[in-house]
Structure 1
Amino acid sequence: MDEFWVFGYGSLMWNPGFDYAERSQGQLFGYRRALCVRSWVHRGTQEKPGLVLGLDRGGSCRGMAFKVTAGQEAATLAYLRERELVTHVYLERTLQVVLADGRKVRALAYVIDRGHTQYAGGLDALDAARVVSTAKGRSGPNDAYVFNTLAHMQEMGIRDQWLESVAAEVRRLAQPPA
């Protein structure tokens, strides 16, 4: 089998959950990171969905690429499918990623299915913040997910202005009225 790379743009960046032989920051073109997935389990419920990250079309996304340890390809793929395809809101795609050293690799990535009922694209930062500020699921409050994601991204030197705007709006909404 050729090299098997995985591209992470959310929690996979710091919590891949599989063995890897190499890791590098990378950039994916044609897709952007967005809070565009209605979370019915981990950060919300079907009655009151939260929002989690997906790759939506347009723009580019900086993230982390992982070269899977040789011999672990099948186990890694099974693990990722169990983790990412719970409600089939994501489409499994192999896309070109440009690594920090300039190499171009083909990497598995999970892209939002815009036709899925959980797709929540087109929200502005304030609308997304209104959802995030009140949703809670099995894995905890939705705002904790956003703040944790941003903290890890900042540690990695990855900026996402839109996600930072959502977090700022969540903080503003949490302030008591003057």
Structure 2
Amino acid sequence: MDEFWVFGYGSLMWNPGFVHEERQSAIAHGFRRSLCVRSFVHRGTEEAPGLVLGLDRGGSCHGVAFRVAEGSWPETLAYLRARELVTMVYLERRLALRLADGRQVSATGYVVDRSHRQYAGAITVEEAVEVVAGAKGQSGDNRAYVTNTAEHLRSMGIRDHWLEHVVKGLELRQI
């Protein structure tokens, strides 16, 4: 491996937590961003799970690719594994990306494990609103996570219409 790239599709895009030499917009084909992971730790509990993003198969996903200096590969990988593999709901994979400048690269990314008990699968906007509205975990309120995620995506020029409908449903629920 000549270069080490990391693909972010959620909070990793604006809060990578590791040193990188290059940051580029990127697209991963064959995967989509989805609110498909039941959170038992960060945004919910076993008794009242929240929902967080996963990279699920199908479609394409606009995100961010980070190139990490060779000397930082081991510590970056250790950090990512500690961050992303808390409950093993994600699988570490090599993903083919197309960068904004046209380059094709291979990146480390974390894809949802559809056989894991935390996989929520395809849920409706209404179901997502119901779950998110009442969930809270070690990292805070699930509603704040979803709203913050949608705002960050929008600020980066990425539209996630399904997630925006969930946010709208949460707003209406507060009225």
Count of equivalent residues: 175
2:48 is the alignment partner of 1:48: yes
Q: What residue is the counterpart of 1:64 in the other structure? A: 64
1:21 to partner: Cα distance = 0.4
- Kindly indicate whether the alpha-carbon contact (under 8 Å) linking 1:133 and 1:174 is maintained by their aligned counterparts in 2: no
Q: What residue is the counterpart of 1:150 in the other structure? A: 150
TM-score by length of 1: 0.96
Whole-angstrom distance in 1 between the partners of 2:104 and 2:124: 32
Whole-angstrom distance in 2 between the partners of 1:143 and 1:97: 30
2:42 is the alignment partner of 1:14: no
1:151 to partner: Cα distance = 1.3
Whole-angstrom distance in 2 between the partners of 1:84 and 1:118: 14
Q: Which amino acid aligns with 1:107?
A: A
Matches within 5 A, 1:80-99: 80-99=80-99
1:88 to partner: Cα distance = 0.3
1:146 to partner: Cα distance = 0.6
Q: What residue is the counterpart of 1:23 in the other structure? A: 23
1:4 to partner: Cα distance = 0.3
TM-score by length of 2: 0.98
Q: What residue is the counterpart of 2:124 in the other structure? A: 124
Q: CA RMSD in A?
A: 0.8
Whole-angstrom distance in 1 between the partners of 2:69 and 2:157: 25
* Secondary structure of 1:73's aligned partner: helix
Q: Which amino acid aligns with 2:28?
A: L
Structure 1 segments of 4 or more deviating over 3 A? none
2:103 is the alignment partner of 1:103: yes
1:153 to partner: Cα distance = 1.1
Q: What residue is the counterpart of 1:136 in the other structure? A: 136
For structure 2, the residue ranges without an aligned partner over 5 or more in a row are none
Whole-angstrom distance in 2 between the partners of 1:85 and 1:15: 17
Whole-angstrom distance in 1 between the partners of 2:122 and 2:152: 25
1:173 to partner: Cα distance = 1.7
* Secondary structure of 2:71's aligned partner: coil
- Kindly indicate whether the alpha-carbon contact (under 8 Å) linking 1:20 and 1:68 is maintained by their aligned counterparts in 2: yes
* Secondary structure of 2:43's aligned partner: coil
2:3 is the alignment partner of 1:3: yes
* Secondary structure of 1:98's aligned partner: strand
Whole-angstrom distance in 2 between the partners of 1:111 and 1:174: 32
Give CA-to-partner distance per residue, 1:22-77, whole Å, 9 cap, x none.
Answer: 00010111111011110011100000000000001111110010001220001000
* Secondary structure of 2:152's aligned partner: helix
For structure 1, the residue ranges without an aligned partner over 5 or more in a row are none
